[in-house]
Structure 1
Amino acid sequence: LNSRRTALLEARSVRVLVVSFGSVEGAQLWLEQTGCTFDILLDPQRKVYRSFGLGSSYAKVMKFGCLLQYSDYVVANIDFPDFPHRLLEDIYQLGGDFLLDSAGKVLLSHPSKSPLDRPTVEDVLQAVDSAGQSANSAYKQKL
């Protein structure tokens, strides 16, 4: 995320937490190579993954459209993190993006259909704003 988008999330009190099932060494390497500044939680037993219904899928990871997009990145000279083979654990594990409020209510649920499938920052901000509007509306109805 660029600093402007990070500032938009912070202005709405959105805290980003990256969840990974990998090793501490792999997580540190990924953080260094990507420049990610968000907090990271390691979930080696994948309890968080299972609680959000995220599984592994050879077919979704290796589908033609996904591989084609990877090739576009290579042509555009976009760098991928360079991981030693010993740190690659489950390349078929799918991720997702979830937005929870302070009470744990899910405001946005986006299980990834492929490794490249992510909601936009605008989608996240819209979910935050919609939740805020709903909360304000409910508060006004109580008055």
Structure 2
Amino acid sequence: MVVSFGSVEGAQLWLEQTGCTFEMLLDSQKKVYLSFGLGSSFSKVLKFSCLMQLSEFSAADRDFPDFPHRLLEDIFQLGGDFLLDETGKVLLSHPSKNPLDRPSLKDVLKAKTDLLLSCQCCDLK
């Protein structure tokens, strides 16, 4: 599931432009963000190394979602990646240090494997 704090119009546009097929939850009060310890940071979002990497993506002709300025809300809000089991237990917690910070595929797969190994039933395998 993808969690966003923006408007319905912005969420629909993002889903269309990225081709994301996950369900989306709109969290306009940012309660989910706060419960996972995710804050806003001017300095982390506009960190020079992060801006350089984004400029390299642009130079490599990598597409990013194109949003009208009227739909941009808190551009300094940091995100994260979390994997929860069916009971809500957090198996992987990766609050982003900057907009480009994501967990490695190895870490995500390890958390999923640990879940499957601890599961007593075969439904999740």
TM-score, normalised on structure 1?
A: 0.80
Separation of aligned partners in 1, 2:24 and 2:70: 21
Q: Given residue 107 of structure 2, which amino acid in structure 1 is its aligned partner?
A: D
Separation of aligned partners in 1, 2:87 and 2:71: 35
Pick aligned residue for 2:45 from 58, 61, 72: 61
In the alignment, structure 2 segments of 5+ residues that lack a partner are none
Pick aligned residue for 1:107 from 91, 102, 111: 91
Which of the two has higher C-alpha Rg? 1
Residue of structure 2 equivalent to 1:123? 107
RMSD: 1.4
In the alignment, structure 1 segments of 5+ residues that lack a partner are 1-16
Aligned partner of residue 99 in structure 1, secondary structure: strand
User: Runs of at least 4 residues of structure 1 off by over 4 A?
Assistant: none
Identity %: 71
Of Structure 1 and Structure 2, the greater helix share is in: 1
Cα drift, residue 135 of structure 1: 4.3
Separation of aligned partners in 2, 1:126 and 1:70: 28
Aligned partner of residue 79 in structure 1, secondary structure: coil
Cα drift, residue 61 of structure 1: 0.2
Question: For residues 57-105 of structure 1, what are the alpha-carbon distances to aligned partners after superposition, in whole Å with 9 as ceiling and x for unaligned?
Answer: 0010000110010010011000111100000000000000111111111
